[in-house]
Structure 1
Amino acid sequence: MALEHINEDPNILPNYRLRIDWRDTQCSLGHGLKGVIELITTEPVKTMLLGPACSLVAMPAAATLEYWNLLQVGNSALSDSLSDKEYYKYFYRTNPPSSAMNPPRLAILGEFDWNRVAIIHENNEYFANHFDITKEYLRSHGIDIVTSESFDAGQVPREQLRNMKDKDARIIFASAYIEPASILFCEIYKQSMYGKRYVWIIESWLDPGWWELNLHVHNCTVEEMREVASLHVGVDFLGIFPIQDVTISGLTPNEYEDIYYNRTNQQQLPGEEYAPYAYDGLWTIAMVLNETQTHLEQTNSSFSILDFDYNNTHHIRELFENSIKNLNFKGISGTIQFNRNGDRFGNIKVEQLIDNELVTIGIYYQNGELVWESEKRITFKGDIPIDGALYETVYIGIRPVIYFIFSSLSAVGVIVACAFLVFNIKNRKRKLIRLSSPNVNNVIATGCIVCYGSVMLFGLDQNIVESNMYITLCMLRAWTLSIGYSMAFGGLFLKTWRVYLIFRNLKIKKKVVQDWHLFGLLTILLLIDLIYLFVWSMINPFFKETKTFPPEIVNQDLILLKKKDSCDCKQLVQWTVALYVYKGLIMLYGAKLAWETRKVSMQELNDSKYIGLSIYNVAIIVSIAVPLTYVLEDEPEVVYSLVAVAILYTTTCTMCLVFVPKIIVLRGTESDTEVTVTTFNRSRAVAPETFTVSIEERVKQKEHELQKLRRDMMMQKEFTDTVHRPVSIKCDADVPSVGNINTSSAASNVVI
C-alpha cells in the first residue's frame, strides 16, 4: 500500500519508481540470515533494507549489513540492543524501542503514588536486556525494585512467584511470549496473586485473546484464565496517531485505516499493530532517497542514487545518513524523527482487559503527557491498591501522660524541697536547727532539688527533643543526677562524720570541726564528680544511637517499624560501673559512720538512724532498678518509670528523714524549758555553741528516764573534754536531785 502511494506521488522520486524485493524471515535466525544473504548477492544492487520484523534476525542482519554500507530501517524490531550505534551503525527504526515503554510505565506509577514494583519475565536475551534497562531507568527515578525474576520457556515459575509474594510485591511488570505468558498467568491464578491487592502491567503486543490460547501448555481452564487476566493493564505502541492531521502521504490516520481494512476485508491480521510503522518505514526510505537525489541534482553531481554500490564508491551512503538524520515529517504513526541512536519516540497506548476485551484507557504522547480516556483512569476490583504494606515508623518513647505524671510528682518534690529550705533558713537561729548544721541542710535540700530535676530530663526523648539537642540532653542527665546525689547524700554523710569525730573517734581530740570543714570536703566530692564527668565527656562523648526493631506486621497493609533512640558512648558500661562503684563506696562509708554513731543519743547531733534508713532505701531500690533498666532497655517507658520511681522515692525519703523530725520537734518544743550546753575556750571566750533539748515532759517521767539523761550528760562531758574547755556547775534553786542532775518543778536551768 505504501509502495503504491509513493510511486503515485509526483513529488516523491520523480522519474524513479521504487521496487521491493522481499524474503520471509519467519522470525528465525537461520531463515533470516539466508534471506539477507540472498538479497545482497543477487541483482540488482539493493539501496536500503526494510526490516526484518523480529529483533532476533534484525540484530545479526544490522551487524552484517554494515560491511555492505546498507542503511537498514526497522519497523517492528523492539530490542534495545539495536540502539547501540557502536555495533549497529546504520540501523534506524520507525517503531519505538522497548525502552520507550518505560516513561509511560513510570507515569502510571506516578499517577497512583506507587514506588515499589517487581519484575518477572521470560528468560531470553531480548527480555533480559530490556528489563536491565528498565530497572536502571526506574531506580534512577526513585522506584524501588522489590525483586526481579525470570523463568525459562516451558517452565512453571512457581518459586519465582512465591518469592515475589513473600516480598509483598503487588505492582508487577511482566513480559513473555504467548506460551510462557499463559503458563505464568495460570500459576498466578494458583497462587492467588491477583484481585484487588495486585496490579499486573504487561506488554500487550501479544496476539488478541492470548490468555485463552495454548491451553494445552498448562492445566487452567478458560474461565480461570479469564479471571486472572481480567483488569490487567497493558502498554503497547500506538501505531495509528489519534490526531487526524494530514500526513506525508496525503492521508489522515483514519483514511489510512479505512483503506487498510478494505484491503483485509475488515479482518484483523496478526501483527497489524506494526503495519503503520512499516508504512512509515517505507515512506522514510523514499524520503531519504528523494532528499539525497535532490541534493545530488542541486550540487550538479554526475552521480545519482542509482550509482550506490556496496563498496560506497561514490560516498552516497554518507548522503543517505545525512538525510535520514535530518528527516522530519508527519507519518501515520506520528512524527517521524530519529534521535542519535536511530530511534524515535512514539506514542504509547495504555490498555486494560475489561469484560474480556482490551480497551484503550489512556495514551502517552511523545511530548511526555499521559492522557486518560476517563476520570476513572484504571478500573480496580476495589479501592486503589497500594504498592505494598505501609511501613509506619514509630519511635518508641514515653507517652506524654507518663511523662506528665512523673514530672508533676517531681515538681511537687521540688516545691516540698523549697519549703524545707525556706523552713531551714527561717528557723536557722532556733537552737535545734542551729545544732543540726543548717548550712549543710541547705546543701542537702538543694541536692534533692537537682535530683528531682533529673527526673524531668530522663523523661525527654526523641518525640519531644530535637535531634541536635539529644546529645546535650544525654550529658545533662548524667551530670544532674551525679551532682545531685553528691550534694544530698554527701552533706548527710559529712554531718555524721562530724558527730563520729566528736563522740566516737577518741584518738582525734582537741579537734573542732566547723561548717567550713564540711563544705571543703563536700567541694572535694563535687570536684571529683565534675572532673570525672568532664573526662568522660572528652574521652568518650555521648552520641545518639537509633535502634531499629524487627518489623511488626499489624495486617496485610500495615507494618510497624519501631525505632528507639538512646544515649550511648564507647565503653559506656565501664564508665557507668566506675561511677556506681565510686558512689557505692561513699554510701558504704556513710553506712559505717551511721553504725559507729548509732548509740549517740543526742537527737540534735545524730542522724545515724535516718542515714541508715536512707541507705537501706537507696540500696534496695538501686539493686532492683539498675539491673531491670538493662534487662528492659528496649522498653523506654518502663525504664523511665523505674528510674523516676527510684529517684523520687529515695530522694523524698532522704529529704523527709532529714527535715520532718526537726519540724515535729520544733512544733512540740516550748521556749522556756530547755537544756543549754555552753562551751568556753581556756584562753578566751568564744561565741557559744548551744544545744537545746526540751525536758519539760522528761522531769515528769520515772527514774529510768532520768538515768538516760545522766548518760546524755556524760556524753556532753566527753564532748567538752574533746575541746579542752573548763566545767563549772551552778544550781539556781534548791530542788531534789537524782545523780548529778538538778531538776525543779518550777522553771529552772541547769548550766554546765
Structure 2
Amino acid sequence: MVSATALLLYLSSLLLNAASQRLDVYIVYSNSGTYNSTPALLGATDAIAAFSNELLPQYSLNITPLDDKCNASRGLQETLQYVSRPSPFVSIIGGGCPSTTSPLLEIAEYLKIPLISYNPGLMRYSQNYVQVFPSRVSLVSSLAAVISEYGWSQISVITEVDDNFLKVEYALKLRLKSENVKVLDTVHMRPQTNITADLLFRTEARVFFLNTYQNTARRVLCTAHRNNTYYPGYAWLIYDWYNEDWYLTDDSSGCMQREINEALDRAITIRQHKEIRPSEMDGYAFAYDAMVSLMRGLNRTQSMIDEGINHNTSCPGGLPSSINETSNISNCVIRSNIIESAFQGKSGDVSFTSDGIRKTIITYVSQYRENGGQLQVEPFATVNVSESLFNYFSNESNSTVWPDGVPPDGTPIYEFSSFSIILVIVMYLWSSVGIIFTVICLIFNIIFRNRKIIRLTSPNLNYFIIAGAIILYSLPFVTLQPSNAETVSLFVCIANIWMLSLGITSIFAPMLAKMFRIYRIFRNPRANKKVLTDWHLFFFVFILEGILIFILFLGTAIPFTRPEVSYSEDPESPPIINEDGIKVIYQGVNCYHAASLVWIFVIYIYILILEAIAVVLAAKTRGVKVEAVNDSKEVVAIVYIVTACSVSVIIIVTVLSEFTNISEGLYLTAALIGTTSTVTLMFLPKMWSLYKDPTGENVFEPTTIKSSSGIQSQIHRQDSEKIVSLQREVGTLKKILRENSVRLMSVPEAVNEIDGDESNNKNGGLRGLTNSCSQLPEVFGDPLTPGDEEKTL
C-alpha cells in the first residue's frame, strides 16, 4: 500500500501526461520510523514538471511510487509486484534508504535497466548502477581530513550491522591506516542490541564515528549522555543525511530532549553537497537530480536513435530500436548517456565518474551547536576531497568550533620518567667535588712537577690521568640531562659510551706507560740501553687512545651497531590518570640493541686487556723498593676497583635498563667510585710523600727488602746510612778510574807495565775495571753529582 501523498502524485502524473507515449519510472521511497524519504516523490515530480517540455517532449514519464519501509525484503517484494506487469519500464530510482538499494540493483540487472540511487548507496561497481548521492569514498576522505586537522591519532567506530555501513567502516580503516591513525575499537550492533556504556566505551578512545542509522544513533547518544562521554571531553562524528529532526527524542531512547541535545552539542557532520534548504532535505534534492539525470540520458539516447549514430564508444553493438526497449544494448547506451550528463542541480553540480558515481570536489564540514536550547547545524569549513585540504570559513577557527579546547583523542600521554631529585643532587654534588679535587691535583702536578719525588713519577703523563678523571666526573651532567627529544636522547646514549671508555682508557694508558718504564729500568737492565723519554711514552699513550677512538668511531658510524633510541614503560613509575581523564604513561629510554651490545662488549674487552697488562707489569715491578717511583700496589688496587665497576656497568646496562632511576644511579655510582679511587690512589700518596720529604733526599732510601724466601724484614736506619756511604764511595772510585784511564791510555808502555801484558787489557787491569764500573746497576746513579740519582728514571 502506498501513502496518500504518493497516490496523489501518481494520479497527477497520469493526468499530466495522458496525451503522450508513456514511460514508466518506479520511485522507491521509505516511510517508516527508521527513515523517511517521502519528499523524494515530490522532488521527482517537480523535475518532470520543470523539464518535460525541454526533454522528451514526445513522451510522458509516469511515476510509480513504492514504499519499502526501509526494509530490504519488503522493498524487493513491492518492486517485483510492479515490474512484473507489462509496461514501457525504463528505470528504477531508489531505494528509499541505503539498506534497500542492493536488492533493487539485482532486479535492475535482471531486467536490464539502469538503477539510479538518490541515497547513500552501494560501494561496488555495476553496469546497471548510477548514484546521484555523493560517494561514500569522498565521505571517508573528508573524515580523514577532519581527523588529521585536529591531530587525532585514534578513534572508535560504532557500526550498525548493514552491508553499506560495514563497507564504509572497511574503507575508513584502510584510509586511516595509511595516515597512521588507529581504529582503536569497532563496535558492531543491531537494532535489537542492548546499548550499554560497557559495550560502547571499551577502550580509552575519545573520538567516535557513528556509522549507524538515525534511530540507533539517538540511542547511542543517550547512553553517551548517561556516561558523560560528550564534549568537551569527547568528540562525535555523525552522518549528515539523517532526517532533519532525527534527534528529537521518543520513548525508545530513554532520554529527555535536553539530554540528547547536550550529547549532540558540538558533534561534527560531513555534508557532501552544497547547502540546501531544510525543506529540500530527506531525499527531495537528490531525487530531483536523479530524475533530471534520467531524463537527460533518455533524451540523448532518443537523439542517437533518430540520427542512427551511436556516439558511445563504450557500448558497441549498435543502438536500441527505442528508449523503452529492455536489453543489454539499451541499458548500456542509456546508462552511458546518464553518466555523460552534467548540470547544475538542486544538490549542486552534478557529474559522474566512469563508474557511475557522482563526483565530489568539495565537502562541507558542519557542527551541531546548541543555541537557546535549540540545536542548529552550522557549516564552518570545507574539504577539498582530491587534495584532502581542510579550510576554515573566514569567521571560524579552532576557538569557535571548540570553545573549551579540542577534545583529546584518548591517546595516552607518554612522558619520560624524571630522575629522582635526590639522585640528581647526590650525583651532581659528588661530581662537582670530584672535579674540584681533580683540579687541585692538576694544580699540584703543575706547581711541584720539578720536585724530585714528583719528577720521578713522570708528571707529564699525569695530565692524561687528570683529563680522564674529569671526563668520567662529567658523566652525571650528561646522563641526567632531562629531555623529551629523541635526538637528544640518542646523543646522550652515544656520549655515555664515548665518555666512559675514553675516560677509563685515558687513565690506564699512562699507567701502562709508567709501569713499562719502571719495568724496563729495574727488571730489564742492559748496558748502553736507550733511555725512554716522555715523548716515547706520549706516543705509546696516543696509540692506545687511537685504537679505542677507531673502535668507537666504527661502531657509531655503522648503522648496524649504532645505538637506537627505544622507549619502554618505566616499572618505577606506574601510569596515572590526569585531571582530564587521560592516562599518563611514564617511559624510560633504552639505547642498546643486540648489535650495539656486541660493539660495547668489544670496547670492554679492549679495556680489560689494558687492565690485565697493567696487573702483569705491576706484578713484575712489585719488588722495586723505591716507593717514589713504584706504583704497583696502587695500580693493582685501581685495576681491581675499576674492573668490578666495569662489570657492574655491563650488568646494569643489560638487565636493569628499564628501571630509570635504579639503573642510572647504579651506573653513575660505579663510574664515580672507580674515578674517585683512581685519583685518590694516584695523587694522595705523592702529596704525602712530598709533605714528608720536600727535597727528595730520602727518595732512594728503601724501607723494605724481600728475601729469597719471600719474608719481609725491616732495615734499620744505620743500614740505610751504610748503603748511602757505599754509594758515595763507588762514585768516588768511578771518578778516579775515569781520570786515570785517560792518562794511562796515552802511554801504552805504562799500561803494559801495570797490567802485566797487553792481552789482559780487555778483561783485567784498569780498563777492565773501568768497563766493569760503568756497568754498575743504574739504580745507584752517581750520588756525588746533585740530581744524578734519578737520571736513569
Is the structural similarity TM-score above 0.5?
yes
State yes or no: 1:137 paired with 2:178: no
Inter-CA distance 70–365: structure 2 relative to 1 (3 Å threshold): farther
Q: Which residue of 1 aligns with 2:324?
A: 308
CA distance in structure 2 between the aligned counterparts of 1:234 and 1:441, rounded to whole angstroms: 77
| TM-aligned CA deviation for residue 643 of structure 1 | 4.8
Output the amino acid matched with 1:322.
S
**Mapping for residues 30-49 of structure 1, pairs under 5 Å:** 30-49=73-92
Q: Which residue of 1 aligns with 2:567?
A: 548
| TM-aligned CA deviation for residue 80 of structure 1 | 3.6
CA distance in structure 2 between the aligned counterparts of 1:323 and 1:468, rounded to whole angstroms: 63
Output the amino acid matched with 1:562.
Q
Output the amino acid matched with 1:544.
P
Secondary structure, aligned partner of 1:21: strand
**Cα deviations by residue, 1:385-410 (Å, 9 ceiling, x for unpaired):** 22235635548789999998777667
> Over the residues paired in the alignment, what is the CA RMSD in angstroms?
5.0
State yes or no: 1:375 paired with 2:396: yes
Secondary structure, aligned partner of 1:516: coil
The counterpart of 1:174, out of the listed 188, 210, 224, is 210
Output the amino acid matched with 2:48.
I
Q: Which residue of 2 aligns with 1:350?
A: 366
Kindly indicate whether the alpha-carbon contact (under 8 Å) linking 2:464 and 2:507 is maintained by their aligned counterparts in 1.
Answer: no
Kindly indicate whether the alpha-carbon contact (under 8 Å) linking 1:116 and 1:171 is maintained by their aligned counterparts in 2.
Answer: yes
CA distance in structure 2 between the aligned counterparts of 1:308 and 1:517, rounded to whole angstroms: 113
How many residues are paired up?
648
**Cα deviations by residue, 1:180-234 (Å, 9 ceiling, x for unpaired):** 3344334434443234211122225445555564534x6x442684366341525
State yes or no: 1:646 paired with 2:673: yes
**Mapping for residues 56-205 of structure 1, pairs under 5 Å:** 56-76=99-119, 78-81=120-123, 84-85=124-125, 88-158=126-196, 161=199, 164-166=201-203, 168-205=204-241
Q: Which residue of 2 aligns with 1:738?
A: none
| TM-aligned CA deviation for residue 159 of structure 1 | 7.5
Kindly indicate whether the alpha-carbon contact (under 8 Å) linking 2:638 and 2:678 is maintained by their aligned counterparts in 1.
Answer: no
More displaced 10-residue stretch of structure 1: 138-147 or 116-125 = 138-147
Q: Which residue of 2 aligns with 1:233?
A: 267
Inter-CA distance 364–532: structure 2 relative to 1 (3 Å threshold): closer
Over the matched positions of the two proteins, sequence identity in percent amounts to: 14
Secondary structure, aligned partner of 1:153: coil
Q: Which residue of 2 aligns with 1:703?
A: none
| TM-aligned CA deviation for residue 533 of structure 1 | 8.3
CA distance in structure 2 between the aligned counterparts of 1:475 and 1:303, rounded to whole angstroms: 81
Secondary structure, aligned partner of 1:18: strand
CA distance in structure 1 between the aligned counterparts of 2:715 and 2:130, rounded to whole angstroms: 122
What TM-score results when the alignment is normalised by the length of structure 1?
Answer: 0.70
Secondary structure, aligned partner of 1:23: strand
Output the amino acid matched with 2:265.
L
| TM-aligned CA deviation for residue 553 of structure 1 | 3.8
State yes or no: 1:279 paired with 2:324: no
Output the amino acid matched with 1:278.
A
| TM-aligned CA deviation for residue 328 of structure 1 | 1.2
Kindly indicate whether the alpha-carbon contact (under 8 Å) linking 2:505 and 2:607 is maintained by their aligned counterparts in 1.
Answer: no
**Cα deviations by residue, 1:210-263 (Å, 9 ceiling, x for unpaired):** 5564534x6x44268436634152526577744xxxxxxxxxx79xx5xx8xxx
CA distance in structure 1 between the aligned counterparts of 2:306 and 2:293, rounded to whole angstroms: 20
Inter-CA distance 407–391: structure 2 relative to 1 (3 Å threshold): same
Output the amino acid matched with 1:375.
E
Kindly indicate whether the alpha-carbon contact (under 8 Å) linking 1:289 and 1:305 is maintained by their aligned counterparts in 2.
Answer: no
**Cα deviations by residue, 1:84-109 (Å, 9 ceiling, x for unpaired):** 22xx2121122223344334433433
Output the amino acid matched with 1:143.
V
Kindly indicate whether the alpha-carbon contact (under 8 Å) linking 1:116 and 1:145 is maintained by their aligned counterparts in 2.
Answer: yes
Inter-CA distance 719–530: structure 2 relative to 1 (3 Å threshold): farther
Kindly indicate whether the alpha-carbon contact (under 8 Å) linking 1:364 and 1:371 is maintained by their aligned counterparts in 2.
Answer: yes
| TM-aligned CA deviation for residue 327 of structure 1 | 0.8
**Mapping for residues 117-516 of structure 1, pairs under 5 Å:** 117-158=155-196, 161=199, 164-166=201-203, 168-207=204-243, 210=246, 213=249, 215-216=251-252, 220-222=254-256, 225-226=259-260, 229-231=263-265, 233-235=267-269, 237=271, 241-242=275-276, 273-298=282-307, 306=322, 308-311=324-327, 315-345=329-359, 348=364, 350-352=366-368, 354=370, 357-362=374-379, 375=396, 382-389=404-411, 391-392=413-414, 394=416, 412=436, 415-416=439-440, 418-423=442-447, 425-427=449-451, 437-438=456-457, 440-456=458-474, 460=478, 473=495, 476-477=498-499, 479-491=501-513, 493=515, 501=523, 516=532
| TM-aligned CA deviation for residue 488 of structure 1 | 4.2
Inter-CA distance 66–72: structure 2 relative to 1 (3 Å threshold): same
Q: Which runs of 5+ in 2 are unaligned?
A: 1-41, 311-317, 703-713, 737-785
| TM-aligned CA deviation for residue 172 of structure 1 | 1.0
Kindly indicate whether the alpha-carbon contact (under 8 Å) linking 1:512 and 1:723 is maintained by their aligned counterparts in 2.
Answer: no
Kindly indicate whether the alpha-carbon contact (under 8 Å) linking 2:428 and 2:477 is maintained by their aligned counterparts in 1.
Answer: no
**Cα deviations by residue, 1:271-299 (Å, 9 ceiling, x for unpaired):** x5211211222222222222332344455
Secondary structure, aligned partner of 2:408: coil
Q: Which residue of 2 aligns with 1:6?
A: 48
Q: Which runs of 5+ in 1 are unaligned?
A: 243-252, 261-271, 502-507, 676-689, 694-705, 729-748
Kindly indicate whether the alpha-carbon contact (under 8 Å) linking 1:352 and 1:359 is maintained by their aligned counterparts in 2.
Answer: yes
| TM-aligned CA deviation for residue 525 of structure 1 | 9.2
What TM-score results when the alignment is normalised by the length of structure 2?
Answer: 0.67
CA distance in structure 1 between the aligned counterparts of 2:191 and 2:240, rounded to whole angstroms: 18
The counterpart of 1:564, out of the listed 586, 589, 593, is 589
Output the amino acid matched with 1:548.
Y
| TM-aligned CA deviation for residue 307 of structure 1 | 5.1
State yes or no: 1:23 paired with 2:63: no
| TM-aligned CA deviation for residue 70 of structure 1 | 0.8
More displaced 10-residue stretch of structure 1: 224-233 or 394-403 = 394-403
Inter-CA distance 177–137: structure 2 relative to 1 (3 Å threshold): same
Q: Which residue of 1 aligns with 2:9?
A: none
Secondary structure, aligned partner of 1:62: helix
CA distance in structure 2 between the aligned counterparts of 1:624 and 1:476, rounded to whole angstroms: 17
CA distance in structure 1 between the aligned counterparts of 2:610 and 2:670, rounded to whole angstroms: 17
The counterpart of 1:709, out of the listed 694, 708, 717, is 717
CA distance in structure 2 between the aligned counterparts of 1:158 and 1:468, rounded to whole angstroms: 46
Kindly indicate whether the alpha-carbon contact (under 8 Å) linking 1:345 and 1:366 is maintained by their aligned counterparts in 2.
Answer: no
More displaced 10-residue stretch of structure 1: 511-520 or 65-74 = 511-520
Kindly indicate whether the alpha-carbon contact (under 8 Å) linking 1:240 and 1:276 is maintained by their aligned counterparts in 2.
Answer: no
CA distance in structure 2 between the aligned counterparts of 1:495 and 1:142, rounded to whole angstroms: 64
Secondary structure, aligned partner of 1:136: helix
Secondary structure, aligned partner of 1:544: coil
